[in-house]
Amino acid sequence: MTVVLEKSNIPKLTEALSRQYLVVDYEKDKTALSVKGYFLAPREKLFSFFSKTKKLSVRSSPKRKLLLFGLDLADIEALGQLDEIMTKPREDYFYLRKRRNSLIVGVVEHSITMPVATGDLILEKINPSQYRAVSLTKAGQEIVKNKFFKKEKNPEILIYPEEKSNLRELAQDSELLAEAVSWARVKNHPIWEKLEKICLGCGICAYVCPICHCFSMEDEIEIDGSASHRCRYWDACVLNNFSRVAGGKNFRPALKNRYFNWFYHKFVRAYKEYDNSQCVGCGRCQKYCPAEIDIEKVLSEIIRDYEKSLSAPTG
Amino acid sequence: MTNDKKLKLGLFDFTDCEGCQVELVGLKEKLLALSERVDIVNWRLGQAKAQWEQFDIALIEGTPLTPGEIDLLKIIREKSRLLVGLGTCATLGGIPAILDKEERQQWYNKIYGPEYEGRGVDALPLSAYVKIDFLIHGCPISGNEAARIFSDLINGKKLNYKDYSVCFECKLANLPCRLLEKKPCLGPIAQGACGAICLKGGSACYGCFGIKEGANVGALLTILNKFASEEEIENYFSMFHNKSKLYDHR
């Protein structure tokens, strides 16, 4: 038996779910931002200290769970990576308490060929009017109990190949990427200087990335002195003060080094620490860079030259 | 904190539209909270009390346009421990700095006749005359950002700018990128914390919060040159930066 959902019932389903959950119908083409901000907010007060009571307080979680509806496979994969990053080696309390108070429903417009490891429920397109429902967690099974889901013996199952994306394919080969980017650093590949001349250092690539997770902390004090708040906000490694430490020393004063760090963290360090490149090829940084820097072309150039160097005679 | 230990604050204005002071007044409860914690000893626009003793903090709005105003600025500097520029006229020269000597002479002739002897000088950032300790940029300033800086100041924190450009708040507001639409914008090189207010209102960013430290101005010019004329680019950079040193980056 296959659990199916009629496409035409999707709006009714989300409406029904919104009685129980805080439903966000995530439409990728309507925003530059990924869903990471729901868990790692662009700016948030983590906890507050009150001068009168001399006590710390953490904001309470909302009673209703958040349900993110409509993520595609790349975004689900990215969220899975972010979950891992925020869990190992140390748990990020503030991220995880929001994440644990949420449900993820993926809507995949092509046939799934690899098992999906993150999310609660996946709706996979099987024919022009139906989705197959695959629940991955208990919460997902609960959703499937909704009256809009039907069990069918032999629904029509068509094959919808995933739209080909060079960047997504590139991102899969994390070992090659790690080697090539490392090599490009050691060899001081001219691409870093080329990028330094065109990169605006605005940070948009990191803001729109579903996996970039670097943040900074800062204490905000109420002007009347009644309370202070420990705040965190998104940082981005291309920003001028990203590598500035206490005392004022900036370890990466040149944009070239900061921009390189973005690549190094994503493709080299991430591979060493998590066995992945921290890129799922979603294409946001490609699409939203105001300087039109195309990460796919940058990576391809690095890989091409790296592979050339491997085949070149040594000596 | 006892009364006599309160920081003494003076707020002065030179040539400008006084819009930044209006933003301060618009802080309402936050302004009252500030006035509880500091002793505002001189503020022409806000109160009758006007003492001329030493100031712990002097806020200067606007920029001097007459020799008399320049002298007064120097006197205030001598009397102040910290001198803080308030608003883009003070911090960069801003709107008054769009006009320069030759143009001013033409307008004198037109408005007052050829007999008139003008006393005005070109508008320059305050830093052209005296040492400035911190700049609160904006045309007008953002009330909330100014309140944050005041709070840091009276609570003894080191003053700093947010380390992001205008793009951060523009992206959070889910606005389309003007540069990608081939429309000029200084957002990527402009100091953020304004809330991307101009972009939210459908305008470009003209960088009234100043050029962000370490900004890649050359890279932006390369992009602008692809679709904007020299004159258009000049207009964008001269809106607030006509006389600021940063203009020389071009």
Domain boundaries, chain B: 3-154, 166-249
Total domain count, chain A: 2
CA of A40 to nearest chain B CA: how many angstroms apart?
13
Quote the tokens at residue A151: 């069990």
Q: Which of residues 157-216 of B touch A (CB under 8 A)?
A: 157, 163-165, 167-168, 171-172, 174, 177, 179-180, 187-189, 212-216
Q: Which residues of A touch B222 (CB under 8 A)?
A: 197-198
A205, A75: one domain: no
Report whether pLDDT(B5) > 50.
yes
Instruction: Please provide the average confidence, as pLDDT, over all residues in chain A.
Output: 95
The rounded distance, in Å, linking the Cα atoms of B242 and B245 is 9
A79, A208: one domain: no
Q: Which residues of B touch A204 (CB under 8 A)?
A: 167, 171, 177, 188
A182, A302: one domain: yes
**What ipTM does the predicted assembly reach?**
0.94
The rounded distance, in Å, linking the Cα atoms of A144 and A17 is 11
3-state secondary structure A148-194: CEEEECCCCCCCCCCCCCHHHHHHHCHHHHHHHHHHHHHCCCCHHHH
Q: Which of A223, A242, A252 to mutate to test the interface with B (most CBs of B within 10 A)?
A: A223
Output the pLDDT for position B247.
44
A200, A61: one domain: no
In Å, how far are B10, B120, B153 from B92, measured between CA atoms? 21, 18, 21
Report DSSP letters for A93-154, one per residue. Answer: HHHHHHHTTEEEEEEESS---S---S-SEEEEEEETTEEEEEE-SHHHHHHHTSTTEEEESS
The CATH number of domain B3-154 is 3.40.50.700:
yes
A172, A300: one domain: yes
A314 falls in which pLDDT band (50, 70, 90)? low
pLDDT tens digits for range A221-273: 999 999 999 999 999 999 999 999 988 899 999 999 999 999 999 999 999 99
Instruction: Please provide the average confidence, as pLDDT, over all residues in chain B.
Output: 93
A210, A283: one domain: yes
Q: Which residues of B touch A222 (CB under 8 A)?
A: 33, 151
CB contact under 8 A, A223 and B34: yes
pLDDT tens digits for range A79-125: 999 999 999 989 999 999 999 999 999 999 999 999 999 999 999 99
A102, A206: one domain: no
Output the pLDDT for position B246.
52
A185, A293: one domain: yes
Report DSSP letters for A35-62, one per residue. Answer: GGGGTS-SEEEEEEEETTTTEEEEPPPP
Quote the tokens at residue A208: 């729109």
Who wins on pLDDT, B245 or B176? B176
In a domain, A204, yes or no: yes
A245, A128: one domain: no
Output the pLDDT for position A162.
92
Q: Which residues of B touch A220 (CB under 8 A)?
A: 148, 151
In a domain, A15, yes or no: yes
Q: Is residue A61 a contact partner of residue A99, using CB atoms and an 8 Å limit?
A: no
- For the residues A53-66, what does the mean pLDDT come to? 93
A239-260 as b/e: b if 16+ CB within 10 A: bbbbebeeeeeeebeebbbbbb
Over pLDDT 70: what percentage of chain A? 99
In a domain, A229, yes or no: no
Output the pLDDT for position A300.
97
Q: Which of B28, B171, B182, B213 to mutate to test the interface with A (most CBs of A within 10 A)?
A: B171
A295 falls in which pLDDT band (50, 70, 90)? very high
The rounded distance, in Å, linking the Cα atoms of A36 and B41 is 48
pLDDT tens digits for range B33-55: 999 999 999 999 988 999 998 99
Q: Which of A200, A204, A242, A245 to mutate to test the interface with B (most CBs of B within 10 A)?
A: A200
Tokens 């608003």 belong to residue:
B87
Output the pLDDT for position A70.
97
Domain that holds residue A284: 166-214+236-310
A217 falls in which pLDDT band (50, 70, 90)? very high
pLDDT tens digits for range A166-210: 999 999 999 999 999 999 999 999 999 999 999 999 999 999 999
A172, A67: one domain: no
In a domain, A9, yes or no: yes
pLDDT tens digits for range B71-116: 999 999 999 999 999 999 999 999 999 988 888 889 999 999 989 9
CB contact under 8 A, B163 and A201: no
Out of A152, A174, A200, pick the residue that ends a domain.
Answer: A152
Tokens 């946001």 belong to residue:
A284
A123, A200: one domain: no
Who wins on pLDDT, A56 or B105? A56
Report whether pLDDT(B1) > 50.
no
A65, A186: one domain: no
Out of A152, A179, A201, pick the residue that ends a domain.
Answer: A152
